[in-house]
Chains A and B, each alone.
Chain A
Amino acid sequence: MSRRGRVMPPSDLLASVSRREEDGVSIVAVQGEIDASNATEIGRELTDISNLALGSVIDLGQVSHIDSTGIALLYELHVRLERRGQGLAVVAPEGGAARRVLELTAFDTRAAVTADVDGAVSAVRSIAGADPPPQPDPR
């Protein structure tokens, strides 16, 4: 039985975050696993969005585990962006780890959840009023 403080890989080994911008939309891609051990750091990355951006796309396509701590981050982010008039869309392909949890927590009924980044970018642009609403996803 351990009584030591730090007992696991540092969070940076658990997940990595990369960001870029496309058509005025900030795209934050997370790779790896999101849980209570790295939620604070991930949350900081997710909320780091320019005021000038139309909104944010959170790409969870490469996430192999996300639990309620991660979903709570998304809910917070959603509320925050809504208040700032910015859009939010989450990329979570069918069959992926993230899609299942987003559906179980009904996040997909609250915010746009798309299968790919392009769809998410147009969703954010239309939420922010930059584009007309996109055609319904045939999938």
Chain B
Amino acid sequence: MAAFGPEDALLSAEADLVEQRAGILLVDDAPENLTALEAVLEPLGERLVSAQSGEQALRALLHEEVAVILLDVRMAEMDGLETARIIRSRPRTRHIPIIFLTAQASDVEEIARAYASGAVDYVVKPLEPDVLRAKVAVFVELSRERAERVRQSQARAHAEAIAATVRKLQIVSDAALAHLELDELLAEILERARTLFDADAAGVFLRDDDDRGLTLRASLGERFPLADREHVSFGEGALGRLADERRPALLAAVELPPQPGAASSRIDSFLVVPLLGSESLIGLLYLGARAGRRFAAADLELLALAGERVAIAIEHAKRYAEGLELVEILQRSLLPERLPSHPRLELAARYRPSGFAAQVGGDWYDALVLDDRRIGVMIGDIVGHGIRAATTMGELRSALRAFAIEGHPPGEALHRLDRVVQATLGRGMVATAMFLILDAEAGTVTVASAGHPPPAVVGADRRVRFLETTPCLPLGIDDHAAASERVHPLAAGDTLLLYTDGLVERRDESIDAGFERLRDALREAPDDVEALCDHVLDRTLGDHPGQDDVAVLTVRLLAGPSGPLALTLPATVDSVTVGRHQLRAWLRVTAPELEIALARDLELAFSEACTNAVRHAYGPRDATFSMRAELVGNEIVLEVRDHGSWREPLGERGGWGLRLIRAVCEAVEVERGPIGTRVRMRQSLPLEPAASSARPAAGAGSQS
């Protein structure tokens, strides 16, 4: 590391040695005239520059700043008029006023003709000292005013440039407040700073959590050459001391310590500014320039200004990240940690926050087992966002859960919840809620709703229906009577979907379009309830991740352990999949100990039978076929029945269907009748889980 201390290297701003006196150029080829002019003008106290010829005058003007020129018209070599012409032709000297000195009246006319400009005057010899002095003084004063104007306009331009730069940085940091995470924010700020300051290196060190030093968090261009490691301890080395002193510093040339694998390069100039948070130093921002470019004191001032904004942005980004985490924790704490499990029911739920991150919503759901045949499921939505909505949601959830546990039916429970809303939460708080009790034995669902959108049910046959609820106002609106209940049948394989309005409502369309979108999504949803939740969210929200948060909860009623599975499906190839998946779910419940290989064989046989039924079902386009699965004693009996007649195709590549069925099942009966074909497959369950002797050997059914 280069041996230097920041104090030695600090470049003081170069003293601006501006000559305070104005320059007056005197041009005459007669030395005695020059002496006379000097004597006349001496009292003005300005800086007198003398030249004895036009050439000398032009040479002097190359490096002298003068306010006015006194020029003799008649000179031996280059005369005054010619000298003036050249002076006026040069951009640098064009504006300098000239006072011609002449003894000839005829010269005056010539001067007037050649230079009809206000910047030119003349004095006829013999000179009148007071008049000449006064004229020169006027021009000197004019020149001073002009210089001042230029200086002011340059200063204004500079100030505007700085303001524009700060504005740009401000734009970066302001935009960052809303959207960027810390690392993205730093990358954006560094890129912008590097461009604005034309720097070759840029980086940010941030304070460590343990407060012992700073660590390089982001950098661009060359690695920071002032520290050989990415960590800097407070008070140690140039950076550590700068961090302690918390002041901006302009550092001089530093030879880069050799970097392994990188060509050594020379950083000529460094700006380092502290990033001061509301309470303490949060880091350092540096810029480096190499190869001849040097930062100026003005750059340091500007970067220090920028550093103030950057510090604010970084603090915001950090707080934003902490806020997000907090919101997540809050949400997690308010929604049920896990859904209850029940042998006859499959549950899954999702909560998706609104597109505006860190905006916690008021949607909630809950589910609890009431007894061995019934579970209660609830969903609700508090109007509004923010921590207040979220905590209110938590209160309502707990209250409704308590009413459910006490055994209140859905209507009564909602009525009590409404009283809670009105009594404790005050006017102006509006919420919707729905409470359903599923009875797995009875195959019913009892529903009461307070202003909540209706639940959807998708059947095993993929038909979608919305359950009717008795219209009732949301909670907190007015004194309202107990929400009345409706009871609907629920069949094995039916999947109930509860949701909040964010799922179906879009600002720019009617809610009916939302219901249609949900209906379509459900019709094509995957079997697995977890995947179903994701599918429904993706399909309905699509590219409109929304203005609102969304909660969905699905419950599927599975077939009872002893009950048969019976379905009638359309005779299309898609039904093969539906039938097989239904069988899979039924087997999981009916024979949970079933060996996977055996379950696969049954699915295979069933799939083959369904495929044949679909292929050979003659008749109108909306033909159907029926399937049935039943546990009889220790035997699983599968049956597929269609309304066509099976013709067993000949040859190796056809007719595998039945052969496979026969290969994997213990017993197969095919009955061809006048109204259709029925295939019945039987498979006894092994008495001990490990026994698999019932499974026919591989290849038993093949003809080769």
Contact = CB atoms under 8 A, between A and B. Distances in A.
Interface of A: 1-10, 13-14, 33, 35-39, 65, 67-69, 71-72, 75-76, 95, 97, 100-101, 103-106, 109
B422 interface: no
A100 B524 contact: no
B653 A2 contact: no
Given A1-B624, A35-B611, A67-B660, A9 B527 contact: yes
B704 A109 contact: yes
B465 to A, nearest CB: 12
15 contacts: A2-B463, A2-B570, A7-B462, A7-B572, A14-B577, A35-B576, A35-B607, A37-B573, A65-B604, A67-B607, A75-B652, A95-B597, A104-B702, A105-B656, A109-B704
A13 B611 CA distance: 19
A1 B626 CA distance: 10
Given A36-B573, A105-B702, A6 B608 contact: no
Nearest to B584: A65
Contacts of B523: 4, 6-7
A101 B574 contact: no
Interface residues of B, number: 48
Contact of B656 (A1, A13, A71, A95): A71
Contacts of B463: 2, 4
A97 B603 CA distance: 11
A64 to B, nearest CB: 8
A101 B657 CA distance: 11
Given A14-B577, A65-B580, A7 B461 contact: yes
Of listed B570, B572, B577, residue having the most chain A CB within 10 A: B577
Given A35-B577, A68-B608, A100-B601, A9 B699 contact: no
Contacts of A38: 577
Closest 10 CB pairs of A and B: A8-B574, A68-B656, A2-B461, A106-B702, A103-B698, A7-B462, A36-B573, A37-B573, A106-B704, A1-B568
Interface string B323-356: 0000000000000000000000000000000000
Given A65-B604, A67-B660, A9 B524 contact: yes
Nearest to A1: B568
Contact of A33 (B577, B597, B601): B577
A5 B572 contact: yes
A105 B660 contact: yes
A20 to B, nearest CB: 26
Contacts of A35: 573, 576-577, 580, 607, 611
Contacts of A71: 656
A74 to B, nearest CB: 10
Nearest to A7: B462
Contact of A72 (B535, B653, B698): B653
B676 interface: no
B492 to A, nearest CB: 15
A131 B524 CA distance: 47
Contact of A6 (B459, B524, B580, B664): B524
B701 interface: yes
Contacts of A104: 660, 663-664, 698-702
Interface of B: 459, 461-463, 523-527, 535, 568-570, 572-578, 580, 597, 600-601, 603-604, 607-608, 611, 614-615, 622, 624, 652-653, 656-657, 659-660, 663-664, 698-704
A67 B577 CA distance: 11
Contacts of A4: 461-463, 523, 570
A88 to B, nearest CB: 16
B699 A106 contact: yes
B577 A37 contact: yes
B660 A65 contact: no
A31 B372 CA distance: 38
A37 B580 CA distance: 12
B634 to A, nearest CB: 23
Contacts of A1: 461, 568, 624
A69 B699 CA distance: 18
Nearest to B622: A3
A22 to B, nearest CB: 29
Contacts of B603: 65
Contacts of A14: 577
Contacts of A95: 597
B699 A37 contact: no
Contacts of B535: 13
A7 B574 contact: yes
A7 B569 contact: yes
A46 to B, nearest CB: 15
A65 B607 CA distance: 9
A101 B580 CA distance: 16
Contacts of B657: 68
Contacts of B698: 100, 103-104
A33 B525 CA distance: 16
Contact of B524 (A3, A10, A65, A109): A10
Nearest to A97: B600
B283 to A, nearest CB: 45
